[in-house]
Amino acid sequence: MPEVKSIFREVLPKQGQLSMEDVPTMVLCKPKLLPLKSVTLEKLEKMQMEAQEAVKQQELAMKEQSQ
């Protein structure tokens, strides 16, 4: 590809004042890695779910009996 000579030249001012304004912007929450669960915790949660289910079933059965 032949080199095209640009008609624009960049200008870098050497004199004068440079002003810059730092505007605070809103921050988003950072990406969060999800922590892995320990075996004990998983077992606890599983047991709790099962227990809740069992109790629910039993209550349903009791309701049906009383009707």
Partner 1 sequence: MEVTMDPLFLAWSYFRRRKLQQCSDICTKILQENPYDQDPSLFISEAAWSLKTRALTEMVYIDEVEVDQEGIAEMMLDESSIAQVARPGTSLRLPGTSQGGGPTPAVRPMTQSGRPITGFVRPSTQSGRPGTMEQAIKTPRTASTARPVTSASGRFIRLGTASMLTNPDGPFINLSRLNLAKYSQKPNLSRTLFEYIFHHENDVKNALDLAAQATEHAQFKDWWWKVQLGKCYYRLGLYREAEKQFRSALNHQEVVDTYLYLAKVYQRLDQPITALNLFKQGLDHFPGEVTLLTGIARIHEEMNNISSATEYYKDVLKQDNTHVEAIACIGSNHFYTDQPEIALRFYRRLLQMGVYNCQLYSNLGLCCFYAQQYDMTLSSFERALVLVDNDEEQADVCLLYPNVSYNGIGDLTLAYQCFKLALAFNNDHAEAYNNLAVLELRKGRIEQSKAFLQTAASLAPHMYEPHFNLSILSEKIGDLQSSYTAAQKSEDAFPEHVDTQQLLKQLRQHFAVL
Residues near partner 1, by CB under 8 A = 22, 24-38, 40-41, 43-45, 47-48, 51-52, 54-55, 58
Q: How far is the CB of 49 from partner 1 (least distance, A)?
A: 9
C-alpha to C-alpha distance for 54 and 45, rounded to whole angstroms: 14
Closer residue to partner 1, CB minimum distance, 15 or 25: 25
C-alpha to C-alpha distance for 12 and 10, rounded to whole angstroms: 7
Q: How far is the CB of 17 from partner 1 (least distance, A)?
A: 21
Q: Is the CA virtual torsion 19, 21, 22, 28 positive or negative?
A: negative
Closer residue to partner 1, CB minimum distance, 13 or 35: 35
- Structure token digits, residue 6: 């640009």
